[in-house]
């Protein structure tokens, strides 16, 4: 599944929030491929925590080669020492085995999660050890392609809002105002705000 970004959405965002007009003009966004299957997406998110992109990609590739297919069954069957040899920390091994156990026991039905609201999915995922709200929000975007996700816990997003709006600080109450202002295009906004940080773009 691809998260589609249309010209219609870009124009609608600019009408709602004119501060994005220059960014929309400068940055060409055309969507991204979603992972679709929430379980392997969550496994990859846990593996990538607190690592550089390069290190995370290396470890994820090793784990995928070890398991063959990343499923609750293959993960539960993997020896902890084998996962450690892939570069997975002892703490993350515990997290991964907990996630596999939750899926196998039915404590969390990963296939049914996609039918829930964003808030309901977050509430379910944060029950798992090693999964915080930010991780759950990133899964909403990159695994499920949800269109209206803007994370207060993401530093890049907060800094982008501050730069774009000439703010010296951003409280959670302020953020709630911008979340409402940018809805229902929160995910599109997130993608633009990350590009401010990653691309060193000037917005004034």
Q: List beta partners, residue 3.
A: 32
Q: Which of 37, 154, 174, 198 is catalytic?
A: 154
Q: What pTM was computed for the model?
A: 0.89
Q: Is 32 helix (H, G, I), strand (E, B) or coil?
A: strand
CA dihedral 62, 63, 65, 68 (to 10 degrees): -170
pLDDT in tens, 39-90: 999 999 999 998 898 999 999 999 999 999 999 999 999 999 999 999 999 9
- In this prediction, residues 118-127 reach a mean pLDDT of 97
Secondary structure (H, E, C), 64-119: HHHHCCCCHHHHHHCCHHHHHHCCCCHHHHHHHHHHHHHHHHCCCCHHHHCCCCHH
Structure tokens at 133: 């709200």
Q: Which two tokens stand for residue 33?
A: 């491929």
Report the percent of the chain where pLDDT is more than 70. Answer: 96
Burial class of residue 50, CB neighbours in 10 A (0-12, 13-18, 19+): exposed
Residue 111 CB partners (closer than 8 Å, separation 6+) = 38
Q: How far apart are CA 194 and CA 132, in angstroms?
A: 20
Indicate the DSSP class of residue 50.
T
154 included as an active-site residue: yes
Identify the pLDDT of residue 202: 47
| CA–CA separation, 195 and 22 (whole Å) | 13
Higher pLDDT, 97 or 204: 97
User: Left if phi > 0, otherwise alpha if psi is -120 to 50, otherwise beta: which for 64?
Assistant: alpha
Residue that the structure tokens 């404590």 belong to: 107
146-180 pLDDT per residue, tens: 999 999 999 999 999 999 999 999 999 999 999 99
Q: In the numeric block, which tokens belong to residue 168?
A: 């010296």
CA distances to 96, 109, 203 from 40, rounded to whole Å, are 10, 13, 37
């Amino acid at each position: 599944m691809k998260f589609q970004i249309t010209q219609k959405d870009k124009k609608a965002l600019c009408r709602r929030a004119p501060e994005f007009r220059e960014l929309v003009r400068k940055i060409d966004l055309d969507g991204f491929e979603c992972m679709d299957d929430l379980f392997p997406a969550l496994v990859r998110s846990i593996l990538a925590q607190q690592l550089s992109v390069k290190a995370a990609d290396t470890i994820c590739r090793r784990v995928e080669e070890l398991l063959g297919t990343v499923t609750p069954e293959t993960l539960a069957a993997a020896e902890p020492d084998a996962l450690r040899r892939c570069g997975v920390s002892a703490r993350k091994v515990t997290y991964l085995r907990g996630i596999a156990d939750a899926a196998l026991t039915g404590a969390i039905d990963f296939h049914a999660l996609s039918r829930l609201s964003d808030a309901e999915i977050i509430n379910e995922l944060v029950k798992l050890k090693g999964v915080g709200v930010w991780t759950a929000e990133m899964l909403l975007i990159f695994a499920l392609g949800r269109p209206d996700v803007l994370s207060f816990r993401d530093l890049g997003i907060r800094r982008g809002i501050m730069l774009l709006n000439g703010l010296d600080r951003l409280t959670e109450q302020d953020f709630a105002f911008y979340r409402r202002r940018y809805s229902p295009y929160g995910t599109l906004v997130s993608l633009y705000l990350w590009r401010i940080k990653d691309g060193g773009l000037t917005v004034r």
